[in-house]
Every structure is written in structure tokens, then in C-alpha cells.
Structure 1
Amino acid sequence: MSSEPWGRVDESGTVYVRTPDGEKVVGSWQAGSPEEALAYFERKYERLVVEIGLLERRVKTTDLSAKDATSAIESLRAQVDEGNAVGDLAALAGRLDALVASVDSRREERKAARARQSEEAREAKEALVAEAEELAGSDQWRSAGERLRALVDTWKGLPRLDRKTDDELWHRFSHARSAFSKRRKSHFAALDAQREETRRRKEKLIGEAEALSGSTDWGPTASRYRELMREWKAAGRAHRDAEEDLWARFRAAQDVFFQARSSVFEERDAEQRENLTRKEELAAEAEKLLPITDLKAAKAALRSIGERWEAVGHVPRDARAGIEGRMGAVERAVREAEEAEWRRTNPEARARAAGLTGQLQDAVDRLREQVAKARAAGNTAKAEKLEQELAGRQALLDQALKGLQEFGG
């Protein structure tokens, strides 16, 4: 007979394990010495110790689900309860009991975390609804429309709530978007109607201009053409695709008249050549303003030159395009400088750039925290996935910061 603290082998080869409830038979051994029998069943006990230790580490350091953990605990408990091993089986049962408590605790923690996530998602969706409802009354058609599309993308990225709450919030969100779309559609429909009315007005002006183009009553007809030009400018703009054609027809009718008048008044050629010389001098004076270094001074100087230009009168027709082209180039340069200055100092554009930069910075900071938590939890796959997303957001942030610098911010 052989005996150890946790078991023994009797003369018949029966192997027993000692438990708080007394001895239990774990098997029999006939092929060797009692010491070998005890060693065999002690090794089975050690395997149970190793398996329980591995499960303890998985529960502690990985995201093993409560269902899988419970299943593994039940499997190990069945092996311990069968008692086909020699060792402190009660201690193993105690460790399994502790694992059950740990899994239950983690289950409650995850349940609470899901509840928190649901509450955060509800608050986020309520904030999206509130912003969408505010935007529904905006007249900033482009920026508000872009922002509403961004809100939809944000909504899609949030988890679903319970069906009733999610449906109610989505109904409000969708209603706000629909209200904005209807207002925008109505606005542009009115704008289209206005432009169509402008087109009809300009067609009438073209009709009169074409009717006058054969007149030889030079003074009154020229005066009426000037009035038609003022009416044309006051009429506003038609649709873009029609405006150029309308203008070409209107100018063509005027050109017919003025060309005929020019042929009659050939004696005025000398005066027009003199006008050309004066306009060439003015064009040269204007060209000295380039490149634009002082916008305010350049605009003032160009106004003075323009007033003198208008006072000069007509130039020979074959020189008109060239001299007007020179002056037009300077005028375009001033307009472009003015537009560039407006874009640079536009507070609304700067505020949007700053807002976008802030949002991207928050997203980058949040992703960095999530990566750190994933690394700390040993979840390498999740950390690598988050790092890929972080790299993309960081690139967007760098681009937004570069854009913000262009506003001097």
C-alpha cells in the first residue's frame, strides 16, 4: 500500500483521492507500482490545474464572452467533480467558483457598458435631431445642405436604439431634412421663375434693339440704345446657358446700328484715332498698377482711370477689342485680387474651417485613447484596426490645419 497527502493506493490497486467529504475512488492500477499509480493520477490533477489557470488568464486578460467562459467552467467543473485525479480537488472547485463570480461580474459590467453606450447614442442622436431641426429653417442653401448630408453620415455611424426611440428620433430627423429640402426647392423654383421672367424681358429688349438696328436717325437712336442698355442691366440675369446667347444677340443689334453710323461719319475717324491714343495712355497708366500690391489704392486709381476712359469716347472699331482687352485685363486683375482678399478674410469660411479642424482633432484624440486601451487590454487586432482609422483621420486633420493656416489662423 502507498499513500500521499491527497491520495493512496490499497493492496488491490484501487486508487483513492482525499476530499473534505471523504475518500473517493478515482481508478485502479495493476500495471506498476503504487507510486507510479499515484504519479499518474497526480499528473491528471496537474493538467486540470494548468487548464484552470489558462481559463483564469483568458477571463482576466481577453474579451472572452460570458457564454464561452461559462461553458468552459462547466466543462472543467465536470472533470473536477468526476474526481479522476489525485490532488486538492476542493481547491480547484473553489477556483472555479471564483471564476464564476468573476464572469458574472464581467457580465454585469458589460451590461452596464452597453447601457452607457445606448444612452450616449441616444444623446448623440438627439443632438443630431436638434441641429437638423435648426438647419431646417436656414437660408444658407449650400452650407446647410452639406451639413445635413454630414449629419446623415454621422447618424449612420451610431448604433441603433430600441425600435420605438430610434424610429421617433429618425422621424424627427427625416422631417427636418424634408422641410429644408422643400424650402430649398421652393426657393430655387422661385429663382428659376424670376430668371425666366428676366429672359422674357430681355427678349423684348432684343426685339426693340433689332428693330432699331437699321435706323439712320443717329442721335435719338443712339440715345435709345443707351436707355436699352440701362434697362438690360436693371433686368438682372437670366439662366446661365441663355444669358450669353441673349447678350450676343443684343450686342449684335447695337453693332449693326453703330457700324452703319461709323461708315456715315468717316470724318470722325481722326477724332476716334485721337481717342485711341488717349485710351492707350490710360491703358498704360492702368497697367502700371500691376501687379496689385495695394488693393485699396489700385481700386481708387482704377476708378479715376475708368472715369477718364468713359469720358474719352469711341475709338476705331478695329482697335476696340485690343484696347478694351488691355483695360479689361487690369480690371480682372483688380477683381481677382478683391475676391482673393474677400476669401482670405471671410469669417464664415474661417469659422467652418476652424470647426472642422476641431472636430477632426477630437476624433484623432479619441482614437488615440481607444488604441491605447486596446493595446493595454492585449487586443492587438482591434488596436491595429483603430490605428488604420487613426492614420486616415490624422491625414484629414493635417489637411484641415493647412487650410486653416491660409486664413491666417
Structure 2
Amino acid sequence: MSSDPWGRVDETGTVYVRTADGEQVVGSWQAGSPEEALAYFERKYEGLVVEIGLLEKRVKTTDLSTKDAQTAIGHLREQVEAHHAVGDLDALRARLDKLVASVESRREERKAQRAKQSDEARGAKEALVVEAEELARSDQWRAAGERLRSLVDTWKGLPRLDRKSDDELWHRFSHARSAFSKRRKQHFAQLDAQREEARQTKERLVSEAEALSNSTDWGPTAARYRDLMSEWKAAGRAQREHEDDLWNRFRGAQDVFFAARSSVFAERDAEQSENLKLKEELAVEAERLVPVTDLKAARAAFRSVNERWEAIGHVPRDARPKVEGRMHAVERALQAAEEAEWRRTNPEARARAEGLTGQLQAAVDKLRAQIEQARAQGNTAKADKLERELEGRQALLDQAVKGLHEFGG
């Protein structure tokens, strides 16, 4: 009979293993010595030790699923419980029990981790939905569209939730994207319609601008070009492929007209500047006639100046009031001299002035005599009344005498 600390072989070749529950039959060995029998079943035990060690390592260091781990533990436990090995089977059972607890602990950890990840994924997806619904109302078409595409990529990188929750959130997310796409499509369709309308309007404006480009009706045409420019700005932008071409044609037509007008105006300005110089010389000549000493000679000289003035063309508009004002001042001085001469030499007017002066002088003399008589009689009130009347008549007389002096009287 042969034995070791964990097993023995009896005289019949039966192999036993020692356990906490007593000896258990391992098997029967008839092919060799008892030592060989123990060595064989001890190798069986070492094989179990290795397998359990490998499983412990896999549970600890890999993502072995709980189900696969439990299956592997059950398979090893069956082998241990079959008692087909010689060794410390109770230690193996203890390690398997500990391994079961470890797998269960990992299962709970994974469950908690999955729940946490699910909560985080739910929160992340809800945040994506909220942002997508806000973007769906945005008019920042390019930026919002790019951001929505980025949100889709983010969504795809998140874990799935339970089907109901995931489907509900995806429905809201997808609806927001569809709503934005629909609004953007409507916006650009409307924008295309507006740009087409702007193109047609600008085509019409270009046609009119080109038709006016050779006009020599400078004032009205320039005013019409200003109106056309206002209409151009109000029309809005046409499609990009048309806008620049239309603007170049419109601007080109204006340039042709205004270049021609500038050339004509430059010639006219030079001519008017020369005209101004000539009229300023005539104004100086006319001003030498004032003050008027010989009305007849002054009138003839002014008539000569004025004839030469009228023969000269236009002067610059901003200089016209000043130079014409100088001529008007001389003309007014001549008119004043003519009126004074007429009053001095008009016999009818002189006779009327003399008659009026005589009548007023007689009235003044009469009032003075009446005043003296009233005071001699002691009638002060009457004298005072006549004095006030005398003041008025005397004023009229003074004015009449002044007028008479104008006639040289």
C-alpha cells in the first residue's frame, strides 16, 4: 500500500483522496505500481490547479462575460466534485467559491457601470435633442446645419438605450433636423425667387441705363441715373452668377454718359470762367459812372456797357449773384438820379408843390393870428387848442417846403 498527505492506494489498487468529508474513491489502478497511480492522479490535480488559475486570471484581467465565467466554474467544479484527482480538493473548492463571489461582484459592478453609462448616454442624448430643437428654429443656416451634422456624429458614438427610450429620443432628434431642413429649403427657395425677381428688375434697369448712355440732355438724364441707382439698391441682389455682370453693364453705361458730360462741362466751365473775367471788367467800367454827375452821358455809357454785357455768355453759377449784383447797384444809382432829375424839372409837380406850400403857409399865418387874439381876450383854453392845431399845420408846411427845395426853389 502506498500513500501521501492527500491520498493513498490500498492493496486492491483502489485510489483514495482525503477531504474534509473523509476519504473519497478516486479510481482503480491495475496497470502499475501504487506510486505511479498516485503520481497520475496528482498530475490530474495539478491540471485542475492550472485551469482554475487561468480562469481566475481571465476573470480578473479580461472582459469575460458572467455567463461564460459561470459555465467555466461549473465545469471545473464538476471535475473537482468527481474526485478524479489527488490533492487538496477542499482548497480548490474554496478557490472556486471565491471565484464565484468575484464573478458575481464583477457582474454587479458591470451592471452598475452599464446603468451609469446608460444614464450618461440618456443625458447626453437628451442634451443633443434639446440643442437640435433649438437649432431647428435658427436662421443661421450654414452654422446651424454644420452643427446639426456634428450632433449626428456625436449621437452615433453614444451607446444605445433601451429601445423605447432610444426610439423616442431619436424621433425628436430626427424631427428637429427635418424641421430645420424644411425651413432652410423654404428660405432658399424664397431667396431664389427674390433673386430671380431682382435679376429681372436689374435687367430692365441695365437696358434703360444703356439706352441713356449717349444722351446729351445732361440734367434730366443725370437725374434719371440717380433714380435708377436708387431702384438698383432697392431691388436687392440677383444670383451670384448674374449680379457682377449686370452691375458691370449698369456701371459701364453710367460711366459712358458721365464721362461725356464731364468733357462737355469741362469745356463749358473754361468758357464760363473766361466770361466771368470779361463781365468783372465791365462791372468795374460801370462802377466808374457812380456817383452820377452827368446823367445823360452816364446813361449812354451804361447802355454801351450793358450791350457788351448781354453779348457775353453764361458765367459759373456760384459767381453769378455777385457780379450781376454789381451791375444792378449801378443801374439803381442811375434810376435814382433819373428820378431826382425828373422831380427837379417837372413844371406841373413844381406848381402843385408851390400851391400846397402857399396854402399851408396861409393856414399857419391865420392860426397864429387867432392864437394872439385868443390870448389877448384871455381865452387860454382856445389858445392852447389852436396851438396844438398849429403844430400839425407847421409840420405839414415844413415837409412841403422841403419838397419844394428839391425842385430847386
Q: Which amino acid aligns with 1:97?
A: D
Deviations 1:114-172 (A, max 9, x none): 22211211111111111111222222222222111111111111122122111111111
Deviations 1:156-207 (A, max 9, x none): 1112212211111111112222222222223333333332332233223223
- Secondary structure of 1:238's aligned partner: coil
Q: 1:40 — aligned with what?
A: 40
Q: In the TM superposition, what is the alpha-carbon distance from 1:228 to its structure 2 partner?
A: 2.4
- Secondary structure of 1:17's aligned partner: strand
Q: In the TM superposition, what is the alpha-carbon distance from 1:259 to its structure 2 partner?
A: 5.8
Q: Which amino acid aligns with 1:15?
A: V
Deviations 1:59-91 (A, max 9, x none): 122222222212221221222122122122222
Deviations 1:310-332 (A, max 9, x none): xxxxxxxxxxxxxxxxxxxxxxx
Whole-angstrom CA distance in 2 between matches of 1:251 and 1:53:
90
Whole-angstrom CA distance in 1 between matches of 2:247 and 2:88:
102
Q: Which amino acid aligns with 1:152?
A: V
Q: 2:137 — aligned with what?
A: 137
**Residues 40 and 269 of structure 1: is their aligned pair in 2 closer, same or farther, counting only changes over 3 Å?**
farther
**Residues 269 and 34 of structure 1: is their aligned pair in 2 closer, same or farther, counting only changes over 3 Å?**
farther
- Secondary structure of 2:216's aligned partner: coil
Q: 1:125 — aligned with what?
A: 125
**Residues 33 and 203 of structure 1: is their aligned pair in 2 closer, same or farther, counting only changes over 3 Å?**
closer
Whole-angstrom CA distance in 2 between matches of 1:89 and 1:270:
126
Superposition map of 1:286-301 within 5 A: none
Whole-angstrom CA distance in 2 between matches of 1:200 and 1:81:
95
Q: 1:92 — aligned with what?
A: 92
Whole-angstrom CA distance in 2 between matches of 1:118 and 1:103:
22
Q: 1:19 — aligned with what?
A: 19
Whole-angstrom CA distance in 2 between matches of 1:270 and 1:17:
134
Q: 1:159 — aligned with what?
A: 159
Superposition map of 1:301-320 within 5 A: none
Q: 1:186 — aligned with what?
A: 186
Q: In the TM superposition, what is the alpha-carbon distance from 1:266 to its structure 2 partner?
A: 8.5
**Residues 268 and 233 of structure 1: is their aligned pair in 2 closer, same or farther, counting only changes over 3 Å?**
farther
Q: In the TM superposition, what is the alpha-carbon distance from 1:234 to its structure 2 partner?
A: 3.9
Whole-angstrom CA distance in 1 between matches of 2:135 and 2:255:
50
Q: In the TM superposition, what is the alpha-carbon distance from 1:258 to its structure 2 partner?
A: 4.6
Q: Which amino acid aligns with 1:132?
A: A
User: Unmatched 5+ residue regions in structure 2?
Assistant: 272-409
Deviations 1:14-39 (A, max 9, x none): 22222333333223334544333323
Query: Normalising by the residue count of structure 2, what TM-score does the alignment of the two structures yield?
Result: 0.60
Q: 1:406 — aligned with what?
A: none
Q: In the TM superposition, what is the alpha-carbon distance from 1:256 to its structure 2 partner?
A: 4.5
Q: 1:55 — aligned with what?
A: 55
**Residues 266 and 5 of structure 1: is their aligned pair in 2 closer, same or farther, counting only changes over 3 Å?**
closer
Whole-angstrom CA distance in 1 between matches of 2:164 and 2:214:
76
Q: 1:325 — aligned with what?
A: none
Deviations 1:219-238 (A, max 9, x none): 43234324323432343322
Q: In the TM superposition, what is the alpha-carbon distance from 1:270 to its structure 2 partner?
A: 8.7
Whole-angstrom CA distance in 1 between matches of 2:45 and 2:264:
123
Query: 2:14 aligned with 1:2, yes or no?
Result: no
Q: Which gives a bigger RCO, structure 1 or 2 (Cα 8 Å, sep 6+)?
A: 1
Superposition map of 1:218-229 within 5 A: 218-229=218-229
**Residues 74 and 245 of structure 1: is their aligned pair in 2 closer, same or farther, counting only changes over 3 Å?**
same
Query: 2:275 aligned with 1:253, yes or no?
Result: no
Count matched residues: 271
Deviations 1:234-270 (A, max 9, x none): 4332221111221232234334445655776784799
User: Unmatched 5+ residue regions in structure 1?
Assistant: 272-409
- Secondary structure of 2:25's aligned partner: strand
Q: 2:106 — aligned with what?
A: 106
- Secondary structure of 1:86's aligned partner: coil
Q: 1:210 — aligned with what?
A: 210
Whole-angstrom CA distance in 2 between matches of 1:30 and 1:18:
21
- Secondary structure of 1:123's aligned partner: helix
Q: RMSD over aligned Cα, in angstroms? A: 2.7
- Residue identity over aligned pairs, in percent, reads 82
Q: Which amino acid aligns with 2:65?
A: S
- Secondary structure of 2:160's aligned partner: coil
Whole-angstrom CA distance in 2 between matches of 1:166 and 1:106:
27
Whole-angstrom CA distance in 2 between matches of 1:109 and 1:228:
78
Q: 1:177 — aligned with what?
A: 177
Superposition map of 1:72-83 within 5 A: 72-83=72-83
Whole-angstrom CA distance in 2 between matches of 1:172 and 1:142:
21
Q: In the TM superposition, what is the alpha-carbon distance from 1:12 to its structure 2 partner?
A: 2.4
Whole-angstrom CA distance in 1 between matches of 2:207 and 2:201:
10
Whole-angstrom CA distance in 1 between matches of 2:57 and 2:212:
98
Whole-angstrom CA distance in 1 between matches of 2:55 and 2:21:
26
- Secondary structure of 1:23's aligned partner: strand
- Secondary structure of 1:95's aligned partner: helix
- Secondary structure of 2:18's aligned partner: strand
Q: Which amino acid aligns with 2:172?
A: R
Q: Which amino acid aligns with 1:130?
A: V
Query: Normalising by the residue count of structure 1, what TM-score does the alignment of the two structures yield?
Result: 0.60
